[in-house]
Amino acid sequence: MTAKRVGILLLILLLVAVVVVSFFYWPGWKASLPFMKTPPPAMTSVVPLTTATPTESPAKPSPDAAVHIQLVWWTPEWLSPLAANNGGQMLADSIARFEKAYPNITVKPVLKSAYGSTGILNYLQASQKVAPGALPDMVSLDFRGVGEAVKGGLLQPLLPKMLPPENGYYPFARSAWKIGGAHYVLPYTADVEHIAYLAGKVSSPPRDWSDLLNEKWRYLLPAGGYQGEANAAFLIQYIGGGGNWDDSKMVVAQPLQRALDFYSHALGKGTFPPAVLSFATPDDAWQPFLLGGGDIVEIRATRFLRQRTTMPDLRFAPVPTANGTVLTIASGWGLSMVATVPKRQEASMAFMHWLASDAEMSRWSFAAQRLPTRPAALESWPQRDDYVAFLSQLLQLATLEPVTPTQRALARSFQQALNNVLAGKETPASATDAVLKQWQQ
C-alpha cells in the first residue's frame, strides 16, 4: 500500500471517530434532563426529573441548548448562598454542584427584601410596569404572595412534565402550590407553631382549654394580629373547633364564636397577660418569656430549632386546643417561575427541581434550621430525636394558613372581631354575627 493510500485511510478513520464522538457527547442530547451534559453526583435520595408523572414525554432540547444561560433568581438573604449561617454555605455548595452537572447554566442570586416596599413582590410589580426586561427568571415567594403575583400576571405556570410527584409533599404544601388548577409555586420550606416552656417551671404542659384555664398559667402568644390578619395562634383555635377558610364554605359560626369566647375568658382570668394584645408575631412574645413574663410561650419551630442548642431546659408541646386535638398552622416559602422564554423556563425548572429534591432539601433545611416541605427530606436529617419526630407529626397534621386574597380578607375579619371582643366593644356572639353578615353579602 502506497503512502498516499495510507494517508487517505487514516483521514477516513479520523472523520468516522469525530462523528461518533459528536453523537454521544453533543451537549443537550439527553432529552430527560435539559441542558445536562454529565449526570449529577450520585445521591441516592435525589428524585430525578424522570420520576415525575408527566402527561407527555419531556421536550427534547433544541440544538441551541449548548448556549450558556444565566438564571437570575430574586430571593431574600436567608434563602441564599449569602445567608450568614450553615444554610448559606450548604446552598452555595448545592448551586456549585448544579452548575457542574448542568455546565450550560449558571445561577445568579439577587438579594431582595422578603416583604415591604423593597420586597420581592413589590419589585416584581414595579418592574413589570417600568422595566419588564429587568424581570428575573425565578423568585422565592411567601405562599401568601403567590396568589397576588398570579393575579397580576407576574408568574408563569410550572412545567407539568418537569414537576416532582405531589404525593412527595406534606398535605399543607400540596394545597399551596396550585391556583386555578395550575402549579405556580414549588413548596420549599415551611414553619409551624407549637408551645415551649422551661422544664424547671412547668412539669406537665396544658393539653386543652380546661387544663389551661383552670391552672394559673401565664400564656404568651400574639393576639394583636399581623398586618391586620388574625395570627396563627387564633386560627389554630378556630380550626380546632371545626372551622375552615375554604373559599367555597367560608365562615363556620360555632367554632368562631367559641374561639372568641376562649380568648375573652383567658384574658379576663389573666391566663393571657394584657401585653399579648400588642404582640403581632410569636417573636414579639419571646423576649418577655425569657424575662419571666410567662410560663408558656407560643413559638415557631424555626426559633425552637435555633434556641434548643443554647437552652437545654427548653421543652415543647402542641398548642392547647378545645378538646386536646393536636394540630397547627403552617406557613412557608416556595420557588416560582417568571421566565417566559421556553429554554429559560426549562433551565429554571431544572434548578428548582434540583433544589427541591429530597437530598438537597434535607441538606439545606437541616443546615439552615428550617423545616422542609417533603417528609423524605425531614427523615433524612442526620439528627433524629424526639423533637424531630414531633415536627414530623405536626407537619403531617398542619393546615395551610390563609393564602388566597379571599382567605386573607377573612382573616382580617376574624382579627377585627377579636379586637372588638377583647376591647369590650362586642360580645363573642355579636362579633360572630357581624362576621357572618359581612361574608353572606
- In order of start, what are the domains of the chain with their CATH numbers? 49-190+332-392 (3.40.190.10), 191-330+397-440 (3.40.190.10)
pLDDT digits (tens, 9 = 90+) for 128-138: 888 888 999 99
Q: Report how far residue 214's alpha carbon sits from residue 234's, in angstroms, rounded to the nearest whole number.
A: 20
Are 193 and 395 in contact by the 8 Å Cβ rule? The answer is no
- The whole-number pLDDT of residue 179 equals 82
Residue 148: how many CB atoms within 10 A of its CB?
18
Q: Please choose, from the candidates 29, 107, 31, the residue with its C-alpha nearest in 3D space to the C-alpha of residue 69.
A: 107
What local confidence, expressed as pLDDT, does residue 320 receive?
97
Gap between the Cα atoms of 2 and 354, Å rounded: 57
Which DSSP string do the residues of 3-55 spell out, in sequence order?
A: HHHHHHHHHHHHHHHHHHHHHHH-TT--TTSTT-SSPPPP-TT---GGGS--S
Confidence class of residue 212 from pLDDT cuts 50, 70 and 90?
very high
3-state secondary structure of 196: strand
- DSSP, residue by residue, 306-340: HHTTT-TTEEEEPPPBTT-----EEEEEEEEE---
Is the pLDDT confidence value at 46 over 50? no
With a pLDDT cut of 70, the percent of the chain lying above it is 84
How confident is the model over 339-375, as pLDDT tens digits? 999 999 999 999 999 999 999 999 999 999 999 999 9
Cα-to-chain-centroid distance, residue 272: 30
Query: Read out DSSP for 82-94?
Result: T-SSHHHHHHHHH
The yes-or-no verdict on residue 74 having pLDDT over 90 is yes
Residue 399: strand pairing partners:
329
Contact 318, 194 (CB under 8 A): yes
The pLDDT of residue 208 is 96
Q: What is the pTM of this model?
A: 0.83
Model confidence at 324, in pLDDT bands (50, 70, 90)?
A: very high
Residue whose C-alpha is closest to residue 33's, from 110, 80, 92, 98:
98
Contact criterion met (CB below 8 Å) for 275 and 267: no
Q: Is 270 helix (H, G, I), strand (E, B) or coil?
A: coil
Mean pLDDT of 263-267: 97
Other beta carbons within 10 Å of 147: 20
Mean pLDDT across 141-161? 94
Please say if the pLDDT value at position 385 is more than 50. Answer: yes
351 contacts 98 by C-beta, under 8 angstroms: yes
Residues in a beta bridge with 300: 193
Average pLDDT over residues 86-96: 97
Percent of the chain with pLDDT over 90: 73
Q: If you average pLDDT over residues 240-257, what whole number do you get?
A: 85
Cell triple for 319: 398548642
Band of residue 248 on the pLDDT scale cut at 50, 70, 90: low
The backbone torsions φ and ψ at residue 80, rounded to the nearest 5 degrees and listed phi first, read -155, 165
What would the pLDDT profile of 216-233 be if each residue is shown by its tens digit? 899 999 999 999 999 999
The secondary structure of residue 247, as a DSSP letter, is T
* pLDDT-wise least confident of 60-74, 209-223, 384-398: 60-74
CA dihedral sign, ordered 89, 91, 92, 94: positive
